[in-house]
Structure 1
Amino acid sequence: MTAANPLGTEKVSSLLARFSIPAIIGMVVNALYNVVDRIYIGNAPGIGANGLAGITIGFPIMIILLSIGILFGTGGATLFSMKLGEKKPEEADQALGNAFSMLLISGAAFLVLGQIFLDPLLRLFGASDTVLPYSTEYMRIIFFGAIFQVTSMGMNNFLRADGQPKLAMLTMFMGAGVNIVLDPIFIYVFDMGMAGAALATIISQAISMIWILSYFLSSRANHRLRLRYMVLRSKVIMRIGSLGMPGFLMQLSNSMLNAVLNKTLFMYGGDLAVSGMGIVNSIQTILLMPITGLMQGVQPIISFNYGARKYSRVKTAERLAMTVATIIVAAGWITTRVFPEQLVSLFNREPELLRFGSYALRAWFLCLPVIGFQILGANFFQATGRSRMAMVLTLTRQVILLIPSILIFSRIWGLNGILHAAPFADAVSALVTGIAFFFGIRKLSDNAGDQDDPVLPAEPVTEQY
């Protein structure tokens, strides 16, 4: 089965299109979970800007849930692909089973902890007295669905790694489609407000999880979930964790960033600024989710061929992916320059919010065109098993640079400084990533020799467990 895997033989550009296009579409659709909630809530009578702020306050917590799915989903799928490339299918099955077990355990832990510490958490993330009731009503239900969100997001990575990118895309379509249909019914028809938006979200995530599990428990799967591989093994978990750590830290730092951002925005601009940045974050999610999908699509190609020591295919895949990523973010940047008011008005049409949101959109996305390269450059090191470098590059943009910039710039230039902290961090982190990527690719070339020769000595390229 492994010898015939198209990841090692099919034309790289065709593979990238086949794996990335469904992932890109799927991630954009998946982004609609939170974005659609904000659109419906922002336009709901009696809720409006306060409801938007309530979801914005809860968003960092939802990112933490997403980060757990990435930790064990992306980490497990990367190890799964590398082991298939090394022709070790049983170890690949162990990665699948152990990752699934950890997704279930972590989702259950979040469900319990979220119900116990919800109010203090929301206060910590910047909820004011006005916004707290809206955020509490929404997030209490979201936490009840933590297992669904974590497991469906994590296991979707294995669908792609098992050679089913279209099925992964359809799974996201199904979940987001259900959410889009249920949102207006629960919010407007049943008059459930914030609770209705949250209920629609967790129902759709539950359907996605059931759909994915039905595949991995059936004969259609190339690698099925089996109980003997779901028994936790510390070495497997540690390896999965190390490979998933960069993506996990990226999302965790994103959560920390949003928490700091919300509190700083409230300090300098009140609930209106928090609501406006909630709109900017929603648009950012839509613009950057294609890059996440592209990253997920190229990951199994890079990991498999790195494991198989076909380094020229690794470099070709990375070059093509970075080109596509740059085109995508450049198109998004042009859109934010030309149609800022129209984008903001999708969420709310209050004049003051529209005015602030439009300005914030232009300022925050000033250096958007370099972000695609920065994300994929960091992911290159993750996909090839160099987790430490990936971790450093991942943290550079959102933790090492952006959070201090927000705190420092706000003291000097107030609200305007907050909005211009992002382009500063984007530009500097892209420069740092470019230098690291240059030397990483050169080292790969130096070690390759005749990298596509099938008679290369069987030198291990990943840790054994």
Structure 2
Amino acid sequence: MNEQSQRLGTQPIPKLLRNLSVPAMIGMFVMALYNVIDTLFIARGVGILGVAGVSIAFPAMMIMMAVSAAVGIGGASVISRRLGEDRQEEANQVFGNVIFMIVAVSFFGLISAFTFMDPMLKLFGASDEILPYASDYIFPILVGSIFFTFAFSTNNIIRSEGNSKVAMITMVVPAILNIFLDAIFIFGLDMGVQGAALATVIAQAIGSVMVLVYFLGGKSSLNLHLKALKPQWLVIKETLIIGMPAFVRQVAGSAMMIAINSMLIRFGGEFEVGVFGIVQKLTMFTIMPMIGVLQGMQPIIGFNYGAKNYGRLRDTIVLGMKVVTIMSAGIFVIMMALPEVLMMIFTGDQQTIDAGAHAMRIMFAMAILIGAQVVSGGLYQALGKARPAFILSMARQVLFLIPLVLVLPHFFGVTGVWLAFPLSDVLAFTLSMVFLYKDRQLFFKSSDGGSGSTNYSTAPSS
């Protein structure tokens, strides 16, 4: 086992969490920055209808991300625990099966580009005016889905073995390249939203090459053998069960986008969809640093849980919770004080600025609760506890946000869509605290392995 994996069980927790989280946060920050700049370029170079088209098409990308997350995060959780248990060859087998699943699922993205793309976009809420922009954006993304899926999934695998710097580089370089290609294709070549999509595909293809060089160059703790690519049902099953919460979370995000866009068109119009497209990218920008902290926590939690180092497990959870809570408080202050300034980055139209600022102040009213929600679901996932991870991954978006989005606009109009966000934050936070309190002995059990925690299985209940 490489030194980068061994340090998960030996390095002091504050230093280790910082070393793993900071590169992850930088990577997520740059990815979020790319999304913001991408939207900025489209808003300035194409207009609010271009932003609306991307917003309509974005659920399709989120479905691709959902599959990638299920494979990558599920595989990462299994691999980190195998490494903690010193089962190197089994970790290699899991990695090989992850690659097999990536290739298999990417095929369906390619097929969808030539079969049911337009009906899918209409299902997502595309009007006749928005459909051309949405189609131009999503077609190149679907054709190049192999690069998107491979880069996204394997980045989690790299992080699972403790090599956060390489994981950061394979995120940052494509994101920066994407920004430059956006400017060339949108403004230089006047390719509109299709240029933005093409820039994304090229950047992810280069990121995929970087990942291949890393794994095939002997720098990884994992070894990729041809025999490991042979599908093994038990390995695939365990990976997908653990990755299912991430899949549900992303699919729920896609369903949330569809519900929000549909209600905005019904109670407002294309203008409100465009405004939400801008606000939604800013929302991703605020959440990404906390996801970076979680990504730094997960390999530490998985490794030390597998190695039965429960003191290190506890210290990681406590420190991580403190960090994301401080971040959440900072996000609340910024969104309450500076929403107009943030909207002015994207547009000079006063109506758009006012509408976006109004939406953000409502949506982030309970932002201080977001950090604990982000960590709680990922915590159970890193431990391999599929059932609570699944429930918490669904809580905010499926159990609370989508129903509120569908109900509140009937009473409050477009404002009802924005009100659904803080209400769902309160409800999801409460549910997270219930789970964490119920399983407090799991997180604070002694090093002898004794526990009074609920006995969750990593397999679905019958």
Deviations 1:243-267 (A, max 9, x none): 1111111111011001101000111
- Match of 2:41? 40
Q: Which residue matches 1:217?
A: 216
Please give the alpha-carbon distance, in whole angstroms, between the structure 2 residues aligned to 1:462 and 1:409: 37
- Matched AA of 2:235: V
Per the alignment, in what secondary structure is the counterpart of residue 54 of structure 2? Answer: helix
In the alignment, which residue of structure 1 is the partner of 2:363?
364
Query: Does the residue aligned with 1:43 lie in a helix, a strand or coil?
Result: helix
Answering whether residue 71 of structure 2 is matched by residue 72 of structure 1, we say yes
Q: Shift of residue 316 of structure 1?
A: 0.8
Report what 1:442 is aligned to: 441
Corresponding residue of 2:321: 322
Give CA deviations for 1:37-76 in whole Å, capped at 9, x if unaligned: 21101001xx210001011111111111111111000100
Match of 1:234 in 2: 233
In the alignment, structure 1 segments of 5+ residues that lack a partner are 453-460
CA deviation string 1:158-212 (max 9, x = no partner) = 1112231111111111100110111111111111111111111110011111100
CA deviations over 1:214-257 (Å, ceiling 9, x no partner): 11111222212221111111100000001111111111101100
Distance apart, 1:114 and its partner CA: 3.0
Q: Tell me the equivalent position of 2:94.
A: 95
Q: 1:309-334, CA deviations, whole angstroms, 9 ceiling, x for partnerless residues?
A: 11111111011111111111221221
Give distance in 2, aligned partners of 1:249 and 1:217. 32
Deviations 1:124-159 (A, max 9, x none): 111111111111111111111111111101000111
Percent identity of equivalent pairs: 37
Contact 2:384 2:458 in 1 (8 A): yes
Q: 2:162 touches 2:299 (CA, 8 Å); kept in 1?
A: no
**Equivalent residues of 2:252, 2:394 under 8 A apart:** yes
Provide the rounded CA distance (Å) in 2 between the counterparts of 1:62 and 1:183: 18
CA distance in 1, matches of 2:94, 2:436: 28
Q: Is the 8 A contact 2:313 2:443 kept in 1?
A: no
CA distance in 2, matches of 1:182, 1:281: 22
CA contact (8 A) 1:56 1:274 kept: yes
1:108 lines up with 2:107 in the alignment = yes
Are the aligned partners of 2:294 and 2:378 in contact in 1 as well (CA < 8 Å)? yes
Please give the alpha-carbon distance, in whole angstroms, between the structure 1 residues aligned to 2:219 and 2:267: 55
Residue 7 in structure 1 maps to residue 12 in structure 2: no
Does the CA contact (< 8 Å) of 1:12 and 1:313 recur in 2?
A: yes
Provide the residue aligned with 1:26 in structure 2. Answer: 27
Q: How many Å separate the matches in 2 of 1:348 and 1:149?
A: 29
State the superposition RMSD in angstroms. Answer: 1.6
- Opposite residue 337 of structure 1, the aligned amino acid is M
Matching of residue 17 in structure 1 with residue 18 in structure 2:
yes
After TM superposition, the score normalised by the length of structure 1 is 0.94
Q: Which residue of 1 aligns with 2:128?
A: 129
TM-score (norm 2): 0.95
1 CA distance for matches of 2:292 and 2:107?
26
SS at match of 2:437: helix
Amino acid aligned to 2:91: A
Following superposition, the deviation at residue 449 of structure 1 comes to 4.8
How far apart, in 1, do the equivalents of 2:405 and 2:113 lie? Answer: 28
Contact 1:58 / 1:139 at 8 angstroms: preserved in 2? Answer: yes
Provide, for residues 404-440 of structure 1, a one-character-per-residue CA deviation record: whole Å limited to 9, x for no partner: 1111111111111111011000011101101111121
One-letter amino acid of the structure 1 residue matched with residue 198 of structure 2: L
Q: List gaps (5 residues or longer) in structure 2.
A: 451-456
Deviations 1:6-63 (A, max 9, x none): 111111111101111101110121223433221101001xx21000101111111111
Q: Following TM superposition, by how much is the alpha carbon of 1:385 offset from its aligned partner in structure 2, in angstroms?
A: 1.1
1:413-428 to structure 2, matched below 5 A, reads: 413-428=412-427
Q: Sort the Cα spacing of 1:442 and 1:7 in 2 relative to 1 into closer, same or farther, 3 A.
A: same
